[in-house]
A and B are shown apart, each in its own frame.
Chain A
Amino acid sequence: MISELFTTAVLIGILTSGIRLATPYLFASIGEMFGQRSGIYNLGVEGIMLMGAFAAFYVTMTYGNPWLGLLAAIIVGSIMGLAMSFISVTLQAEQGISGIGIYLFGLGMSDLLFQKMLGTVETVSGFRPVSDSLNRIFPDLLPGLAGIPVIGAIVSILAQQNIMVFMAYLLVPIAWFIMYRTTLGLKIRAAGENPAAADALGVSISRTRYATVTFGGAMAGVAGASLSIALLNVFQQNMTSGLGFIAVALVYFGGWRPYGVLFGAILFSMVNAIQLWIQALNIPIPGDASELLIMMPYVLTIIVLIFSAGRMRKPSALGVPYERGG
């Protein structure tokens, strides 16, 4: 029965799942948000994620250190982001198509590298839950906290997650700070709102956009790494399976604001977690249509937006190449 969903254990489970599922979206969406705020939208996130996921997996496997893997994902993601910048900023190409090209290239290339360098699906020991290292350093901490009501439950949810999950959530306030409390953030927003005026004030539009899109690429790479060396510890062809496109959609959902993106990512992931739980608890579905449940997060995202999107305004120059003196 549906009431089974509302037990403490299940609610904690939904929360834990939701937090985990949102992790790759946060990295990718926040990165993409920077690019869009400066005027460039990149539909190639999915492809960059795949390349990042593979790079992180391969390096972690070879050197046994997930931090090196993460670094590799950042480097590969940045290179892909740089390529996207070159095409969309310098060559002023249509951004949507460039992104699709980047996506297809990443999809194929990551698969090709996977087949040539690994050859078969393998597992890797990536980032472990933080409880592992906490227990090593402070053996009494977690068992001690577990006894306290509420806090104990929260701590146990958090301790099950790995370090990349925390990094993802930490990224949100950092992004907010950069965007609204630094000169850099001002430049980025100016480049996306009124590039000509910003240019006149001495902001280099192309340099700003290069920076944001490259950063977005790096974050997409990290998002991929969060799958391949933290959450799943495995690499497979097309393992992102459309996740990168959802990440782009979440930027629109969040109204180009970090906390909006956070809200979107969590909402989407929680609903997804709920549908998984409904199935796992064997709660009957009308017409035996599991598909109805699977659609839920997608339908709900649209519905929520219908009621909230009125206030949103996209960056005026989003998608418009900037040419000096044009």
Chain B
Amino acid sequence: MLDFFVKYPRLSRLVDLALPLLATLAALGVGAIMLQLLGANPVDAYGALLNGAFGSQNALADTIVRATPLLLVALGICIAFRGGVINIGGEGQLVAGAILGTLVGLTFPEAPGYIVIPVALVAGFIGGAIWGGIPGVLKAYYNVNEILSTIMLNIIAVQGMNYLLRQPMIDPAQAQLASRIPQTARLVQAFDLPRLVPTRLHLGALIAVILAFVVYIYLWRTTSGYRIRAVGLNPDASSYAGINVKRNIVLALLLSGAFAGLAGAIQVYGVHHRMFTDGSLAGFTGSAGFNGIVVALFGKLNPLGAIPASFIFGALIVGANSLQRAMQVPAALITALNGLVVVFVVASDYFSRRLARSRQIGVEANVEPSPPASMPPALSVEGDMSSD
């Protein structure tokens, strides 16, 4: 089978690009059996999924709105993983950014929107950067593993959010009621992110796409980005070459957190127009901090690849929920299905790597060196293509 692709490297690359999609379809195939067992017609069910994700202008807008925070988080993940650090603290960073961003809007209700919105988004960026910078410093200077610290910081963030929203930041209207729902006041309408078309699609989506290009340029066209990647590929060699490894570890996690924080601020100003909590992280974040990791991997840790990946993943989330409603199957099925898709897609990378190797055999290229920690080998191929 591989011999075939050796002869047709271009076809091989096409199959490579389609692999995540094929894997998703395979996972949905397994899902079809489960649907059948639950008494729902899989054809109708997936019809409802497609319809819910793409069926109308509104559905499409919903999909893109859901994809926006995924894309932003994924951009940060690209930077972190390229820098050789694993950031699973996106949830907490997103919340930190949302809180700081909301504070700006609550503090200056009289100021004009064209000033407050950018300031608030920058505040969100900074909030996430702080929450991502902490594990960076802990890892670089105190050898505290970032998986541990980001998990802990997620929980610290949720408790902090709960406290802030039920005490100092609570909506003054709610503060007077017995039930005291933990949410802030609605931000003044002048601060709503502008809508792009007459749907709920807001400017945040455009910002995210533009930033994808910015991150791409940053990683592959700037010295700073090069250093982060160098540290990620081989910290010892980088250190030898005079790169400050510790500083770049901090920078990678800080930037990674910053993009998650920006996602949080954009969720507030583009979608909810206030901050609220249900006591957990997922209630506000929609697990974008986790799913963003998956999206980054779907996009092969390439910021541009993350654009379609986030769109597909957003469609999957929106469509699957629509499926749940149409068929009235338990929502748990959707979670399980989500897990299957992730497993299948990440597993499909195996074939992607084999294809890549076959291409190299085809062009008689040198064998790739062993890939760095926690990064699929195939990814370094992409990286090499665009590196200077």
Contact present between A and B (CB < 8 A): yes
Q: How far is the CB of A316 from chain B (nearest CB, A)?
A: 9
In the complex, the answer to whether A103 meets B339 with C-beta atoms within 8 Å is: yes
Which of A111, A114, A291, A323 interacts with B335 by CB under 8 Å?
Answer: A111
Q: Which residues on the A side are within 8 Å of B138 (C-beta)? A: 302, 305-306
Tell me the complex Cα distance, A248–B145, Å: 11
Chain B, range 140-186, C-beta contacts under 8 Å to A = 142-145, 147-149, 151-153, 155-156, 159-160, 162-163, 167
Q: Does A245 contact B (CB under 8 A)?
A: yes
In the complex, the answer to whether A301 meets B152 with C-beta atoms within 8 Å is: yes
Q: Does B88 contact A (CB under 8 A)?
A: yes
Which of A103, A250, A306, A314 interacts with B142 by CB under 8 Å?
Answer: A306
Q: Does A97 contact B (CB under 8 A)?
A: yes
CB-defined interface of A313-326 with B at 8 Å, one 1/0 digit per residue? Answer: 01000111101001
In the complex, the answer to whether A115 meets B339 with C-beta atoms within 8 Å is: no
Binds A, one of B108-116, B188-196, B263-271, B347-355: B347-355
Chain B, range 359-375, C-beta contacts under 8 Å to A = 370-375
Which of A97, A116, A288, A314 interacts with B346 by CB under 8 Å?
Answer: A97
Q: Does A155 contact B (CB under 8 A)?
A: no
Tell me the complex Cα distance, A294–B155, Å: 9
Which of A106, A111, A242, A250 interacts with B330 by CB under 8 Å?
Answer: A111
Binds A, one of B45-53, B214-222, B289-297: B289-297
In the complex, the answer to whether B144 meets A94 with C-beta atoms within 8 Å is: no
Tell me the complex Cα distance, A104–B282, Å: 13
Q: Which residues on the B side are within 8 Å of A109 (C-beta)? A: 332, 336, 339
Which of B143, B152, B159, B338 interacts with A310 by CB under 8 Å?
Answer: B143
In the complex, the answer to whether A295 meets B155 with C-beta atoms within 8 Å is: yes
Q: Which residues on the A side are within 8 Å of B297 (C-beta)? A: 94, 97
Q: Does A222 contact B (CB under 8 A)?
A: no
Which of A41, A100, A306 interacts with B294 by CB under 8 Å?
Answer: A100
- Of B143, B156, B293, the most chain A CB neighbours within 10 A belong to B143
**Chain A contact residue count (CB 8 A cutoff):** 60
Q: How far is the CB of B185 from chain A (nearest CB, A)?
A: 21
In the complex, the answer to whether B149 meets A302 with C-beta atoms within 8 Å is: yes
Q: How far is the CB of B331 from chain A (nearest CB, A)?
A: 8
Which of B159, B338, B349 interacts with A295 by CB under 8 Å?
Answer: B159
Q: Does B340 contact A (CB under 8 A)?
A: yes
Which of B143, B337, B342, B372 interacts with A309 by CB under 8 Å?
Answer: B143
Q: How far is the CB of A40 from chain B (nearest CB, A)?
A: 11
Q: Which residues on the B side are within 8 Å of A319 (C-beta)? A: 86, 373-374
Q: Which residues on the A side are within 8 Å of B38 (C-beta)? A: 116
Q: Which residues on the B side are within 8 Å of A106 (C-beta)? A: 339
Tell me the complex Cα distance, A309–B144, Å: 6
Q: Which residues on the A side are within 8 Å of B375 (C-beta)? A: 94
In the complex, the answer to whether A314 meets B145 with C-beta atoms within 8 Å is: yes
In the complex, the answer to whether A101 meets B337 with C-beta atoms within 8 Å is: no
Q: Does A299 contact B (CB under 8 A)?
A: yes
- Of B293, B337, B342, the most chain A CB neighbours within 10 A belong to B342
In the complex, the answer to whether B330 meets A112 with C-beta atoms within 8 Å is: yes
Q: Write the chain B residue with the least CB distance to A95.
A: B374
In the complex, the answer to whether B155 meets A91 with C-beta atoms within 8 Å is: no
In the complex, the answer to whether A249 meets B142 with C-beta atoms within 8 Å is: no
Which of A96, A253, A291 interacts with B160 by CB under 8 Å?
Answer: A291
Q: Does A102 contact B (CB under 8 A)?
A: yes
Q: Write the chain B residue with the least CB distance to A319.
A: B374
Q: Does B376 contact A (CB under 8 A)?
A: yes
Q: How far is the CB of A241 from chain B (nearest CB, A)?
A: 9
Instruction: Given A91-B347, A115-B332, A292-B163, answer yes or no on A249-B148 (Cβ-Cβ < 8 Å).
Output: yes
In the complex, the answer to whether B336 meets A326 with C-beta atoms within 8 Å is: no
Q: Which residues on the A side are within 8 Å of B335 (C-beta)? A: 104, 107-108, 111
CB-defined interface of A70-109 with B at 8 Å, one 1/0 digit per residue? Answer: 0000000000000100010001111111101111111111
CB-defined interface of A257-301 with B at 8 Å, one 1/0 digit per residue? Answer: 000000000000000000000000000000111011011001101
Instruction: Given A105-B343, A109-B336, answer yes or no on A305-B144 (Cβ-Cβ < 8 Å).
Output: yes
In the complex, the answer to whether B342 meets A100 with C-beta atoms within 8 Å is: yes
Q: Does B21 contact A (CB under 8 A)?
A: no
Q: Which residues on the A side are within 8 Å of B334 (C-beta)? A: 108
Tell me the complex Cα distance, A309–B139, Å: 10
Q: Does A47 contact B (CB under 8 A)?
A: yes
Tell me the complex Cα distance, A292–B160, Å: 8
In the complex, the answer to whether A102 meets B373 with C-beta atoms within 8 Å is: no
In the complex, the answer to whether A112 meets B343 with C-beta atoms within 8 Å is: no
In the complex, the answer to whether B147 meets A252 with C-beta atoms within 8 Å is: yes
Q: Write the chain B residue with the least CB distance to A93.
A: B346
In the complex, the answer to whether B148 meets A252 with C-beta atoms within 8 Å is: yes
Q: How far is the CB of A290 from chain B (nearest CB, A)?
A: 8
Tell me the complex Cα distance, A321–B332, Å: 32
Q: How far is the CB of A132 from chain B (nearest CB, A)?
A: 35
Q: Write the chain A residue with the least CB distance to B329.
A: A112
Give B contacts to A, CB under 8 Å: 38, 86, 88, 138, 142-145, 147-149, 151-153, 155-156, 159-160, 162-163, 167, 290, 293-294, 297, 330, 332-343, 346-347, 349-350, 353, 370-377
Give A contacts to B, CB under 8 Å: 41, 43, 47, 83, 87, 91-98, 100-109, 111-112, 114-116, 237, 242, 245-246, 248-250, 252-253, 287-289, 291-292, 294-295, 298-299, 301-302, 305-306, 309-310, 312, 314, 318-321, 323, 326
- Given A97-B297, A100-B293, A299-B156, 6 extra CB contacts under 8 A: A98-B342, A104-B342, A109-B332, A248-B147, A295-B155, A312-B143
